[in-house]
Amino acid sequence: MNIVIVGAGIMGITFATLAKELNPSLKITILERLSGPGKSNSSVFNNAGTGHEANCELNYTPVDEELIEIEKALDIHAQFNVAKQFWAYLTNEGIIKDPASFIHPTKHCTLVHENSIDMLKFRFEEMTQHHFFETMQYSEDHDEIKSWIPYTMENRPRSEKMAATKIQLGTDVNFEELTIAMAAHLAKQEGVEIHYGTHVKRVHKNPIGRWLIETTEFGEKVQHKADKLFVAAGGGAFPLLKLSHLPERTRFAGFPVGGRFLLAPISEEDAKKYSAKTYGKAKVGAPPMSVPHLDLRAANGKHYLLFGPFATFKPVLEKGRGFVEYVRSMRLHDIPSLLNVALEHFPLMKYLISETFVGKAKMLEDLEAFAPGLASKFNWEISPAGQRVQIIKDGDLQMGTEIIVSDDQSYATLLGASPGASVSPEVMLRLLEQFMPSLLETDEAQTKLKEIFPESNLKILENDAKLYRKIRDDVNTSLKIC
Ligand SMILES: Cc1cc2nc3c(=O)[nH]c(=O)nc-3n(C[C@H](O)[C@H](O)[C@H](O)COP(=O)(O)OP(=O)(O)OC[C@H]3O[C@@H](n4cnc5c(N)ncnc54)[C@H](O)[C@@H]3O)c2cc1C
């Protein structure tokens, strides 16, 4: 069986790595338009590198008066645990030489002002009843919060009432390094070909049911054939779905949201002082991916502080691609969906358009409000982030990720981007179950699955505290993040 994957980001490369571990005889061809793996949204500063496990992101626990929903937070936490199981396996197998090349322990904190203190306390009380969040701490004490996240408190008047939660053991993940490590391993495997500089222009099925993939490879026209086609092309998945003639193509349209961060290099000394990711509360009308946060990041052996994201309305499929390509990817049947979203989500549109024109001075002002004194302490530059293309499904805007598998199980694609890279191994495992169920049925694959994932059932992790704690501690030890 010949499998073609479009896109060498974290998703496509994770899928290929997992599939190949389960069946080493698979033939896989990966086609990537850029010059290497993990260079688009998975690239280090195109995303925030938060190992999303719902420790600190308020948008995963919506509060409605007296009610707080923690189901989504439980799911994401369990998914991230499954992701760590996969990365621990890769490390134990020597596929990843040093986990510190991509994953770093860091505190995950939430910081709120006076009018959200009751909500944060309520959230803390509800969440700590579950074993996933049993280590969460809560404080309203200025000095204690300052000891957790100094940069956000140092120059803040003591009279300003604040509250914070902290989970000591969260992570910062460099998804680009992780993707590079997996791609390097794949490139050495028999039966795997990775073609960089290869732009997939069109995909269609021939009369005998094989997919024909038309590409330009360094300017030359080249055709590939596949029995199974997985399009893991980020925002680039939308135009290929439109060209696929699959019935699903009319149900989905893309709503692009760009982003920018403020980024500052800092010394090792400063990095020791602030080892945290601190999430605040989104502004009214802002989309969930615009929750402000101040993160310590590690890349290329150096340390950085990252603040943002500042959302922008940028009608392109991916960073570096043009407006014309986005427009050409649309079909007449998309127009009512886009208009519906524009009308139904008018405050969001207004917010995105106004944020697009925000300059550096205003961005620094926002930083100053989040962490007083920090704007002038470091040398901040604007760093353009990746591009999310949110899903519009049947006319409704969605914030999550959607796996689409054709009825004949020959075409699969992934749309949307949240919570994204953090949960990629769990999402790819579910995709394999739907897209290539026969691959998982063999005794060899079942044995391997148990070796890779001590427990991948999210509900079992959620309900069996003892098992969860054992797996958590084992994988953290393998990943050297305890
Ligand atoms: C601002 C921002 C912040 C984020 N923060 C976080 C975070 O803190 N934590 C987290 O877990 N996630 C975060 N994410 C989400 C995360 O970046 C994505 O979920 C993840 O990178 C998606 O991986 P991917 O492989 O699907 O896409 P990509 O990494 O974009 O890979 C897709 C690949 O497909 C290629 N491609 C596209 N079209 C074609 C074509 N026609 N032919 C050939 N190749 C093609 C592209 O060049 C690209 O390399 C963030 C995203 C953004 C935008």
Using the predicted structure, report yes or no on whether residue 14 has a pLDDT greater than 80: yes
Q: What pLDDT score was predicted for residue 123?
A: 95
- The whole-number pLDDT of residue 346 equals 78
- Tokens 């500042």 -> residue: 310
Q: How many CB atoms lie within 10 A of CB 379?
A: 9
- 130 C-alpha vs ligand 1 centroid, how far in Å? 32
CB within 8 Å of 452: residues ≥ 6 apart: 18, 21, 85, 86, 89
Q: How far apart are CA 418 and CA 47, in angstroms?
A: 11
C-alpha atoms less than 13 angstroms from C-alpha of 20 in its C-beta half-sphere:
26
pLDDT: is 324 or 299 the higher one? 299
Task: Indicate the DSSP class of residue 283.
Answer: P
The pocket around ligand 1, CB under 6 angstroms, is made up of: 6-12, 31-34, 39-42, 47-50, 52, 175, 199-200, 232-234, 236, 259, 309, 318, 385-388, 417, 419-422
* pLDDT tens-digit map of 249-269: 888 888 888 899 999 999 999
Q: What is the pLDDT of residues 15-43, one digit of tens each?
A: 999 999 999 999 999 999 999 999 999 99
Who's near 372: CB < 8 A, 6+ residues apart?
154, 155, 156
Residue 377 has pLDDT above 90, yes or no: yes
Q: What is the DSSP string of 157-195?
A: -TTS-EEEEEEEEEEEE-HHHHHHHHHHHHHTSTTEEEE
Mean pLDDT of 154-180: 97
pLDDT in tens, 306-343: 999 998 888 888 888 888 888 888 888 888 878 877 77
Q: Which residues contact 98 (CB under 8 A, 6 or more apart)?
A: none
Q: What percent of the chain has pLDDT over 70?
A: 99
What pLDDT, on the 0 to 100 scale, is given for residue 48? Answer: 95
- Residues 70, 129 contacting (CB under 8 angstroms): no
Q: Is the per-residue pLDDT at 96 higher than 80? A: yes
How does DSSP classify residue 299? E
Q: Is the dihedral of CA 218, 221, 225, 226 positive or negative?
A: positive
Cα of 175 from ligand 1 centre, angstroms: 10
Give the mean model confidence (pLDDT) for residues 97-126.
Answer: 95
Residue 223 to residue 203: CA distance in whole angstroms: 10
Is the pLDDT higher at 150 or at 206?
Answer: 150
Instruction: Read off the pLDDT of residues 198-236 as tens digits, 9 standing for 90 and up.
Output: 999 999 998 888 999 999 998 899 999 999 999 999 989
Confidence check: pLDDT of 138 > 90: yes
Residue 419 scores a pLDDT above 70:
no
pLDDT at 296 over 70: yes
Does residue 89 carry a pLDDT above 90?
yes
**Chain mean pLDDT for the chain:** 93
User: Which residue of 5, 29, 30, 42 sits with most ligand 1 atoms within 8 Å of its CB, as the best mutation to test the pocket?
Assistant: 42
Mutation to probe ligand 1, out of 5, 13, 40, 198 (largest number of atoms < 8 A from CB): 40
Nearest Cα residue to 285 out of 219, 339, 352: 352
Q: How far apart are CA 123 and CA 117, in angstroms?
A: 10
